[in-house]
Amino acid sequence: MKIGIIGTGYVGLVTGVCFAENGNEVICMDVDENKIERLKTGDPVIFEPQLEELLKKNIGENRITFTTSLKETVQTSDIIFLCLPTPPYEDGSVDISHVLDVSHKLAKYVNSYKVIVSKSTVPVGTCGAIRKIISKKTKYSFDVVSNPEFLKEGAAIADFMSPDRVVVGTRSKKAAKIMRDLYSSFMHLTERFILMDERSSELTKYASNAMLALRISYMNEIANLCEITGVDIHMVRKGIGSDPRIGSSFLFPGVGYGGSCFPKDVKGLLNTAAEFGYDFQTLKAIDEVNRRQKFIMVDKIKKHFRGRLKGKVITIWGLSYKPRTDDLREAPSLTIISELLKLGVKINAYDPAAMENFRKLYPDLRVKLFKTNYNALKNSDALVLVTEWTEFRKPDYVKLKKLMRTQVIFDGRNIYNPAEARKNGFKYYGIGR
Ligand code: NAD
């Protein structure tokens, strides 16, 4: 099939590369000229496991091309995926202007029947708005389909290649058949195609992300209660997760969720509820608990140093909002670092993938970046583990002890064994233990 991707970011690029890998002819478009030039050379621009190798392979086999031309993308494609940003406004409502602008612009290039698919996460009714815009500007027939994306950054290729489910929202039999055919090669063993109307599909994405965010915020509150009552969250988590009605995933407490999706989608759903006159209490709590949780480690640090933090050197391991990505959007590290800087702390930091993005976003030279995690620890008064990259999981305590001025670990993801850290002479602070 001939596929056009509009917006070649985390979702667009992964979608394009995976469709190309499955034998389709893909053209990816973006307004960012520099990004398109880099993509043409096989540089994926973002860090995502397996992406570079699949990108290079599919460029080499002429199945994927890159352009800044919207006209070329629309006219050479049968199915057009909108993978555009839908960021939050200050008040939490969703900015769908990129999606609507592109719909206005692409409509005049439609030259045959097209399926226009929203992969962007958009509020209920957006696909209807896209349809209205395009129908005013073209005489050709077309369908607008909602197909929310559920990939996880850090495992995006694997998720796309082997999806838990593909949700497609459309009432058009023709578009549904095309979408089913397109995705059939990703579902060899079991059918995981869920067809519904477009508004249900639009809401499914928000409901799904909000549910995951709910589990995290709930576990963070249970962890906070564990601390007050002298209970170990690690044991409680095991006890809860063994109930098949609950399941064991997404029960890990930490320093709060971040990323481009959970924070904005919780707020976006809250906004939809408000627009329809519904007071969504649990959503409000998820958001507030997460906001507070990002300060938990700073409070522990303040308490440990009895407020005397001026001039202290604190090392941060992990900047990205989660492992295996260079994405810093809404990362807890940003809140922790800016709070510590306000208290006069000097920051040393290391991240395996996100340092380049961090420097662009955070030019403040009071945060020093280092080439290795151990280099960052030299003369440090404390280590704060913020992102659980695998390379941080088994620290060499002897080396740590030699490098650090004082031996304190603030483990924001509970990846270290407290007893082992203590045995090695470290003061250990986790979350809920
Ligand atoms: P992103 O910011 O990484 O990528 C968006 C791309 O669109 C950028 O490259 C940008 O230059 C381009 N763009 C902006 N305006 C454009 C225009 N007018 N024409 C062409 N290109 C334009 O965003 P993302 O993380 O890929 O997210 C895209 C959508 O997918 C969002 O709605 C998001 O909520 C949703 N989503 C994201 C994830 C994720 O993990 N990142 C997962 C599921 C769904």
Whether the predicted pLDDT of 191 surpasses 90: no
Distance 86 CA to ligand 1 centre (A): 7
Mean pLDDT, to the nearest integer, of 16-24? 98
The pLDDT value recorded for residue 30 is 98
Q: Which residue is closest in CA terms to ligand 1's atom 25?
A: 10
Mean pLDDT, to the nearest integer, of 315-334? 97
Q: Which residue is closest in CA terms to ligand 1's atom 44?
A: 149
Token pair for 63: 């199945």
Q: Which residue is closest in CA terms to ligand 1's atom 1?
A: 9
Token pair for 396: 């060499």
Distance 186 CA to ligand 1 centre (A): 22
Percent of the chain with pLDDT over 70: 100
The pLDDT value recorded for residue 189 is 78
The pLDDT value recorded for residue 158 is 96
Distance CA(255)–CA(389), nearest Å, equals 15
pLDDT of 234-292, one tens digit each? 999 999 999 999 999 999 999 999 998 999 999 999 999 999 999 999 999 999 999 99
Region 2-196: CATH code: 3.40.50.720
Average pLDDT over the chain, rounded to an integer: 97
Distance 189 CA to ligand 1 centre (A): 30
The pLDDT value recorded for residue 381 is 98
Residues 6+ apart with CB under 8 A from 134: 103, 106, 107, 110, 116, 142, 144
Write out the catalytic residue numbers: 261
pTM of the entire structure? 0.94
The pLDDT value recorded for residue 293 is 97
Q: Which atom of ligand 1 is nearest to the CA of 121?
A: 32
Whether the predicted pLDDT of 364 surpasses 90: no
The pLDDT value recorded for residue 377 is 98
pLDDT of 92-138, one tens digit each? 999 999 999 999 999 999 999 999 999 999 999 999 999 999 999 99
197 contacts 395 by C-beta, under 8 angstroms: no
**SS3 letters across the chain:** CEEEEECCCHHHHHHHHHHHHCCCEEEEECCCHHHHHHHHCCCCCCCCCCHHHHHHHHHHCCCEEEECCHHHHHHCCCEEEECCCCCECCCCCECCHHHHHHHHHHHCCCCCCEEEEECCCCCCCHHHHHHHHHHCCCCCCEEEEECCCCCCCCCHHHHHHCCCCEEEECCCHHHHHHHHHHHHCCCCCCCCEEEECHHHHHHHHHHHHHHHHHHHHHHHHHHHHHHHHCCCHHHHHHHHHCCCCCCCCCCCCCCCCCCCCHHHHHHHHHHHHHHCCCCCHHHHHHHHHHHHHCCHHHHHHHHHCCCCCCCCEEEEECCCCCCCCCCCCCCHHHHHHHHHHHCCCEEEEECCCCHHHHHHHCCCCCEEECCCCCHHHCCCCEEEECCCCHHHCCCCHHHHHHHCCCCEEEECCCCCCHHHHHHCCCEEECCCC
* CATH architecture of residue range(s) 205-293: Orthogonal Bundle (1.10)
* pLDDT band of 88, cuts 50, 70, 90: very high
The pLDDT value recorded for residue 8 is 98
Token pair for 275: 């627009």
pLDDT of 384-408, one tens digit each? 999 999 999 999 999 999 999 999 9
* pLDDT band of 38, cuts 50, 70, 90: very high
Mean pLDDT, to the nearest integer, of 18-43? 98
Nearest to 13 by CA among 41, 50, 58, 55: 55
The pLDDT value recorded for residue 90 is 92
Packed helices 332-342 and 296-304: angle between N→C axes, nearest 10 degrees: 30
The pLDDT value recorded for residue 365 is 87
Whether the predicted pLDDT of 15 surpasses 90: yes
Question: In the chain, what are the domain boundaries?
Answer: 2-196, 205-293, 296-429
Tokens 């989660």, located at residue: 322
With a Cβ cut-off of 6 Å, ligand 1 is lined by 6-12, 29-32, 35, 83-86, 98, 101-102, 119-121, 149, 151, 153, 260-261
Distance 260 CA to ligand 1 centre (A): 10
What is the distance of C-alpha 152 from the center of its chain? 6
Question: Would 205-293 and 296-429 be classified into the same CATH topology?
Answer: no
Class of domain 296-429 (CATH, top level)? alpha beta
Q: List strands edge to edge, sheet with 382-385.
A: 367-369, 346-350, 313-317, 382-385, 408-411, 427-429
